């Protein structure tokens, strides 16, 4: 929309009559643009757009007696801003009448933690303003004329942004800044008064409850630190609040902290394509998954790990999940455990320590026969493993499959004669070996290939602890934000870059609708 309610309010017959012909054309173009956009919006419904059914217009669904007019179902987004001294960001209508204002408590999208306003506090903390930033409209919203720098202007609203100042070389520690952003209105020669508007991301069905825009209390670099504290340091929202208050004398509500993290997730969303592109190009990819809870529903946290990139995904434990992530286009080597979804990939390796643990289980069986077999198989695999490690340092004159043909043959024989064994654990292990035989023994011929899936297991370990602390995520949007931010943080770490500083630049760009900075470069040594 080109014209805000504030703009339209000033336009009437009298004003139009006074406009010269060429300006009338400009005004008409703007009006036409907005009318067409409104027309398309009127025709939009969940059947012909990405709008989820919950965004149906009030007349499209059964009336809800609890909600006077269904028009104010949108909520949640403005909650952080509602805590700022000046109230929520001006949308198309900067100051809606009180009765029209959507209640921030309505709807199901309550952020976790203490609900906003539960202590009856707004932002009571008085902060000394350190910087000023004035936002002027560049063009007249009505006629399109350029508004010159010296044209008379006046402030119509403002918001404060708390951020961490860029580091000063040679100094340690953090310096906070409080910037007062003043929005100005300017009168054009045509008589129209235009207002500078803070940038705001258009509605996105995937991020219904997460707002993204310029009008924010928490600045981008401080937001980067909050994300780091939450994910990398695994601090709860309440602990982050306590830390900021104790160490920096900065009071933020847990609601603002939670919203900051989810907004950072939405801001990082366009990076997912770049992460996937890097993953798909990797020569070797370690994959593993662990259970994850999303508001009590059992899902899986997947880790796809290359030498310089990590991609986390939260979703079902299905083949489709992996297909979608790898877009069927992955031609490198996949290293995994024996989980069935991985078996579709021919170019694959198995994690030997994983198999070794299973053989150890057999070796420790109280059934003497099974224990003996387990020990023998474990011994054979250990011999092969030692040979592979030795071959990496000192390539042998005879290829390992030839040199260890007798051991391989014996292992194969043990597997074959016991594939119908009455002992379920033994039967299951030997069948697993037979099923994946070529995949398991491939490193014998190519000893430089990895033998373990440690990289993926390691990449999950940190988040397994998070899961115990936080009990998972609470919504689809929360899961998406978590997986994205975890991916960005781990990828930055692998590339030797500062995750919070990079996230700060990402959030700063996303809040203005600009292209995001590229992922940190892959160091030459990696």
Catalog residues that contact Zn ion under the rule CB under 5 A: 140, 142-143, 145, 188, 190, 192
Alpha-carbon span 257 to 245, nearest angstrom: 12
What's the gap between Cα 255 and its chain centre? 18
What's the gap between Cα 396 and its chain centre? 47
Q: C-beta of 92: minimal distance to Zn ion in Å? A: 19
Q: C-beta of 142: minimal distance to Zn ion in Å? A: 5
Q: C-beta of 140: minimal distance to Zn ion in Å? A: 3
Select 109 or 144, whichever has its Cβ closest to Zn ion: 144
Q: Helix (H, G, I), strand (E, B), or coil: what is residue 146?
A: strand
Select 188 or 451, whichever has its Cβ closest to Zn ion: 188
Select 143 or 226, whichever has its Cβ closest to Zn ion: 143
Sign of the CA dihedral with 285 first, then 286, 287, and 290 last: negative
Beta-strand ranges (E) seen in 95-226 are: 131-135, 153-164, 176-187, 193-195
Take residue 260 and report the two structure tokens written for it: 């900051």
Sign of the CA dihedral with 425 first, then 426, 427, and 431 last: positive
Q: C-beta of 12: minimal distance to Zn ion in Å? A: 15
Take residue 112 and report the two structure tokens written for it: 């976790």
Q: C-beta of 512: minimal distance to Zn ion in Å? A: 25
Q: Are strands 310-315 and 193-195 parallel, antiparallel or unpaired?
A: unpaired
Alpha-carbon span 102 to 105, nearest angstrom: 9
Q: C-beta of 138: minimal distance to Zn ion in Å? A: 12
Q: Helix (H, G, I), strand (E, B), or coil: what is residue 377?
A: helix
Which region, left, alpha or beta, applies to residue 194 given φ > 0 means left and ψ of -120 to 50 means alpha?
beta
Select 190 or 310, whichever has its Cβ closest to Zn ion: 190
Q: C-beta of 141: minimal distance to Zn ion in Å? A: 8
Sign of the CA dihedral with 98 first, then 99, 100, and 103 last: positive
Select 1 or 297, whichever has its Cβ closest to Zn ion: 1
Select 192 or 474, whichever has its Cβ closest to Zn ion: 192
Q: C-beta of 25: minimal distance to Zn ion in Å? A: 12
DSSP H helical segments within 13-78, as ranges? 13-18, 21-43
Q: C-beta of 169: minimal distance to Zn ion in Å? A: 46
Alpha-carbon span 5 to 460, nearest angstrom: 50
Q: C-beta of 148: minimal distance to Zn ion in Å? A: 12
Select 188 or 223, whichever has its Cβ closest to Zn ion: 188
Select 187 or 403, whichever has its Cβ closest to Zn ion: 187
CA R_g for the chain: 30
Tell me 147's DSSP state: P
Select 94 or 191, whichever has its Cβ closest to Zn ion: 191
Select 164 or 197, whichever has its Cβ closest to Zn ion: 197
Take residue 471 and report the two structure tokens written for it: 């009990």
- What's the half-sphere exposure (Cβ side, CA atoms, 13 Å) at 409? 5
Q: Helix (H, G, I), strand (E, B), or coil: what is residue 183?
A: strand
């Amino acid at each position: 929309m080109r014209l805000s309610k504030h703009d339209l309010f000033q336009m009437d017959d009298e004003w139009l009559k006074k406009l010269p012909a060429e300006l009338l054309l400009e005004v008409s173009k703007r009006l036409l643009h907005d009318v067409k956009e409104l027309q398309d919006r009127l025709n939009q419904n969940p059947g012909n757009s990405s709008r989820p059914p919950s965004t149906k217009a009030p007349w499209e669904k059964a009336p809800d007696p609890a909600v006077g007019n269904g028009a104010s179902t949108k909520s949640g987004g403005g909650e952080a801003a509602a805590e700022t001294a000046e109230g929520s960001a001006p949308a198309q209508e900067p100051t809606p009448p009180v009765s029209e204002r959507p209640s921030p408590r309505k709807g199901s999208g309550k952020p976790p933690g203490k609900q906003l306003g539960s202590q009856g506090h707004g932002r009571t903390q008085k902060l000394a303003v350190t910087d000023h930033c004035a936002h002027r409209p560049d063009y007249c919203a009505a006629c399109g004329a350029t508004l010159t720098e010296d044209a008379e202007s006046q402030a119509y609203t403002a918001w404060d942004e708390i951020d961490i100042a860029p580091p000063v070389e040679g100094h340690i520690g953090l310096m906070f800044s409080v910037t007062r952003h003043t929005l100005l209105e300017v009168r054009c020669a045509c008589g129209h008064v235009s207002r500078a508007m803070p940038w705001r991301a258009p509605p996105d069905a995937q991020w219904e409850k997460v707002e993204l825009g310029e009008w924010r209390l928490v600045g981008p670099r401080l937001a980067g630190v909050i994300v780091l504290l939450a994910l990398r340091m695994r601090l709860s929202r309440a602990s982050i609040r306590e830390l900021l208050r104790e160490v920096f004398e900065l009071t933020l509500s847990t609601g603002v902290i939670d919203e900051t993290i989810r907004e950072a997730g939405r801001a990082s969303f366009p990076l997912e394509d770049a992460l996937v592109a890097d993953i798909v190009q990797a020569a070797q990819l370690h994959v593993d998954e662990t259970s994850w809870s999303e508001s009590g529903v059992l899902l899986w946290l997947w880790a796809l790990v290359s030498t310089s990139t990590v991609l986390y995904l939260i979703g079902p434990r299905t083949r489709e999940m992996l297909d979608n992530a790898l877009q069927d286009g992955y031609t490198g080597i996949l290293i995994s455990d024996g989980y069935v979804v991985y078996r579709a990939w021919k170019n694959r390796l198995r994690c030997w320590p994983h198999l070794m643990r299973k053989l150890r289980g057999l070796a420790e069986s109280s059934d003497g026969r099974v224990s003996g077999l387990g020990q023998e198989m474990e011994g054979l695999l250990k011999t092969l493993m030692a040979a592979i490690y030795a071959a990496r340092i000192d390539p042998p004159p005879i290829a390992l499959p030839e040199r260890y043909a007798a051991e391989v043959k014996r292992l194969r024989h043990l597997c074959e004669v016991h594939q119908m064994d009455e002992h379920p654990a033994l039967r299951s292990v030997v069948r697993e070996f037979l099923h994946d035989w070529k995949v398991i023994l491939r490193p014998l011929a190519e000893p430089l290939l990895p033998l373990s899936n440690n990289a993926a297991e390691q990449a999950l370990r940190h988040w397994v602890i998070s899961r115990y602390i936080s009990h998972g995520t609470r919504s689809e949007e929360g899961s998406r934000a978590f997986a994205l931010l975890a991916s960005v943080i781990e990828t930055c770490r692998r590339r030797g870059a500062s995750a919070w500083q990079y996230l700060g630049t990402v959030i700063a760009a996303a809040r203005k609708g600009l292209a995001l900075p590229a992922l940190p470069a892959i160091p030459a040594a990696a």
